[in-house]
């Protein structure tokens, strides 16, 4: 897969929203943004059907008809003006089917129609993070490792006991799940065979992961590394590529497809990186506040960046 020799990010639009921009979703050429107060803005304009809420939003899911579902730190799930409080601290929320949500809190998995979510599995231990998998499965990162649960009937499909699993990335083909651990290791699980490989990358917790073409990109607090992926889908454990370090904690990571990733940090620095190129950025930009969220458009030629001060900025990408 070819890596561009150079790139540029050209600012093409900016909006100032009332709170930190914590969620971004492209549908065609339109951009939906969710702020930390739960308010939704489409192309910079407020959606009056979705007023702010009392909790701090921690995860957002956008349906095909702009149905914005959020879960906040208190475990409140909101769609439109309807809200429902679940047990535990909020972690993740997704639309699994039209009209059906899957929500994960620190207490476990819940599912059902908005406003009618019911517990599905709440005996797996303290949940730190989660990832929706193909079919009807959801991966849960707990204090004891990885648990994969069927979010329709609540059965446990698989367990892997390691240190605390705190970050996930699902490959584009949906067959491999990368699991980052608090102990600094990364495991890649083949979701078809159940087999896995592991790499020891850091002495600090793995915070973010993403697949970038033929590489798995991994972040700890302020450093980005990548590991090549072999033809059989395994990680080449002896060949990490050290990408550029950041000036502050890395807050957002997004793969464009191919070997290009964007990374934004709490100091307001945005870097465009090639996963197979050491110690060099393809492009960079400075934002007025810390980066809170990133999203590439479906085409991969437009990048949206949300900041902690409510700044929303769009960039057009050029590759050379």
**CATH number for 155:** 2.120.10.30
Distance separating alpha carbons of residues 17 and 32, to the nearest angstrom: 12
Number of domains the chain contains:
1
The position carrying tokens 């990885």 is: 146
Does 75 fall in a domain? Answer: yes
Does 167 fall in a domain? Answer: no
pLDDT tens string, the chain, 320 residues long: the values are 567 777 899 999 999 999 999 999 988 888 989 999 988 888 888 876 677 778 899 999 988 777 889 999 999 999 988 899 998 999 999 999 888 999 999 999 999 999 999 999 999 999 999 999 999 999 999 988 899 999 999 999 988 887 889 999 999 889 999 999 888 888 888 888 776 676 665 667 889 999 998 889 998 888 888 888 877 767 776 667 888 777 788 999 999 988 899 999 999 999 999 988 887 889 999 999 999 999 999 999 999 999 999 999 999 999 87
Two tokens, residue 127: 């949940």
Does 265 fall in a domain? Answer: no
Does 182 fall in a domain? Answer: no
**pLDDT at site 201:** 57
List, in sequence order, every residue forming a beta bridge with 118; answer none if it has no partner.
Answer: 111
Two tokens, residue 255: 């793969």
Nearest-CA neighbor of 290 among 20, 7, 10, 11? 20
Question: What 3-state DSSP class applies to 43?
Answer: coil
Distance separating alpha carbons of residues 157 and 183, to the nearest angstrom: 24
Which residues, 6+ apart, have CB-to-CB distance to 238 below 8 Å?
none
Two tokens, residue 287: 């934002």
Is residue 77 within 8 Å of 57, Cβ to Cβ?
Answer: no
Query: Strand ranges (DSSP E) for 86-214?
Result: 90-97, 100-105, 108-112, 118-121, 127-132, 137-142, 145-150, 156-161, 165-170, 176-181, 185-190, 196-200, 208-212
Two tokens, residue 11: 């600012």
Does 315 fall in a domain? Answer: no
- 98-122 b/e with 16+ CB inside 10 Å = b? eebbbbbbbbbbbbbebeebebbbb
**pLDDT at site 225:** 86
Does 250 fall in a domain? Answer: no
pLDDT cut 70: percent of the chain above it: 93
Q: Where in the sequence is the domain holding 95, given as residue range(s)?
A: 53-161
Distance separating alpha carbons of residues 117 and 112, to the nearest angstrom: 5
Does 206 fall in a domain? Answer: no
C-alpha gyration radius of the chain: 19
Does 108 fall in a domain? Answer: yes
**pLDDT at site 259:** 87
List, in sequence order, every residue forming a beta bridge with 33; answer none if it has no partner.
Answer: 24, 41
What's the predicted TM-score (pTM) here?
0.89
């Amino acid at each position: 897969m070819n890596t561009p020799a150079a790139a540029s990010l050209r600012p093409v639009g900016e909006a100032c929203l009332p709170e930190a921009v914590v969620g971004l979703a492209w549908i065609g050429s339109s951009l939906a943004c969710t702020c930390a107060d739960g308010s939704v803005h489409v192309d910079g304009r407020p959606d009056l059907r979705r007023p702010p809420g009392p909790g701090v939003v921690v995860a957002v899911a956008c349906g095909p008809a702009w149905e914005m579902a959020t879960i906040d730190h208190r475990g409140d799930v909101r769609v439109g003006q309807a809200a429902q409080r679940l047990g535990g601290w909020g972690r993740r929320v997704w639309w699994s089917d039209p009209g059906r949500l899957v929500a994960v809190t620190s207490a476990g998995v819940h599912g059902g129609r908005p406003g009618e979510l019911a517990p599905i599995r709440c005996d797996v231990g303290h949940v730190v993070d989660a990832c929706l998998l193909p079919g009807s499965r959801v991966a849960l990162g707990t204090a004891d490792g990885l648990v994969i649960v069927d979010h329709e009937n609540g059965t446990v499909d698989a367990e892997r006991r390691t240190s605390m699993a705190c970050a996930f990335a699902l490959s584009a083909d949906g067959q491999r799940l990368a699991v980052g651990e608090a102990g600094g290791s990364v495991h890649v699980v083949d979701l078809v065979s159940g087999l896995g490989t592991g790499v020891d990358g850091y002495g600090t917790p793995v915070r973010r992961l993403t697949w970038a073409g033929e590489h798995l990109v991994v972040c700890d607090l302020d450093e980005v590394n990548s590991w090549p992926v072999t033809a059989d889908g395994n990680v080449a454990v002896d060949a990490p590529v050290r990408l550029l370090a950041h000036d502050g904690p890395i807050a957002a990571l997004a793969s464009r497809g191919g070997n290009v990733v964007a990374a934004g940090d709490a100091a307001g620095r945005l870097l465009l990186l090639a996963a197979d190129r050491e110690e060099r950025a393809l492009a960079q930009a400075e934002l007025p506040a810390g980066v809170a969220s990133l999203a590439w458009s479906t085409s991969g030629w437009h990048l949206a960046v949300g900041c902690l001060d409510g700044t929303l900025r769009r960039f057009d990408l050029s590759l050379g």
